[in-house]
Amino acid sequence: MRGGERSVVGRRALAYAVVLCLAGAGLALWAATRTWSVELTVRPSPLPPVRDARSGASLLPWLPALALVTLAGGGAVLATRGRLRRVLGVLLGALGLVVAAGGGYGLVADVGGPVSRQWPALCLLGGLLGAVGGGWTAWRGGDWPAMGARYERPARTAPEAASAQGGPAGPPTPLAGRRTTEAWDALDRGEDPTAD
């Protein structure tokens, strides 16, 4: 496979892994905020029963927090590269599995009242999607391209580095030794500050 083709395939795989992580974490976070169970407490007549709706977040308070961390980690996959990206992938895979375990617990646990099974199931699915995205990143992420060089600070050339250190780097500029405010004042007066 040529370099250009490898780059395109790597970008596509990176996009798929990020989408899996973000979609899975978002789905799990959304499902964790829905009502998972409703507990009715009967009161003496004529009082109506008390309805206590409990979300996944109230049953498992750590679940939305881990889903948020997975969501942030999915975005961080774009900003990392090499070994750090692979480590992040392992972390995202583990977080996804823990979120999926929370959804699985919601499916089988007796939480006191009828349980709405679709929200824990969606949380389980979201955690598994995040785990797949994280696992894929851990397995192949080191070979994927990093962010473009336009986001990195350019390296100094030898003349720039010498001028920054005060050494001779070539012919002096007309503004050498002048203060910036003096140049602006000259412009305000209508004079050319570069002409000596």
Q: CA 153 to CA 80: how far, in whole Å?
A: 16
Task: Tell me the pLDDT band of 146, cut-offs 50, 70 and 90.
Answer: confident
Closest-CA residue to 96 (of 37, 34, 11, 26): 26
Determine whether 94 is exposed, middle or buried from the number of CB atoms within 10 Å of its CB (0-12, 13-18, 19+).
middle
Q: CA 6 to CA 18: how far, in whole Å?
A: 18
Q: Whole-model pTM?
A: 0.68
E strand or H helix at 55: strand 50-55
In sequence order, what are the residues at sequence separation of 6 or more whose Cβ sits closer than 8 angstroms to the Cβ of residue 182? 193
Task: Tell me the pLDDT band of 140, cut-offs 50, 70 and 90.
Answer: confident
E strand or H helix at 4: helix 3-32
Q: CA 176 to CA 178: how far, in whole Å?
A: 6
Q: Span 3-25, mean pLDDT?
A: 86
Determine whether 25 is exposed, middle or buried from the number of CB atoms within 10 Å of its CB (0-12, 13-18, 19+).
buried
**Beta-bridge partner residues of 37:** 54, 115
Encode pLDDT of 34-63 as tens digits: 988 877 777 788 888 777 788 889 889 999
Least confident of 23-27, 58-62, 140-144, 170-174: 170-174
Cα 107 → chain centroid: 28
Domains of the chain as residue ranges with CATH:
3-150 (1.20.140), 155-188 (no CATH)
Phi then psi for residue 2, to 5 deg, are -75, 165
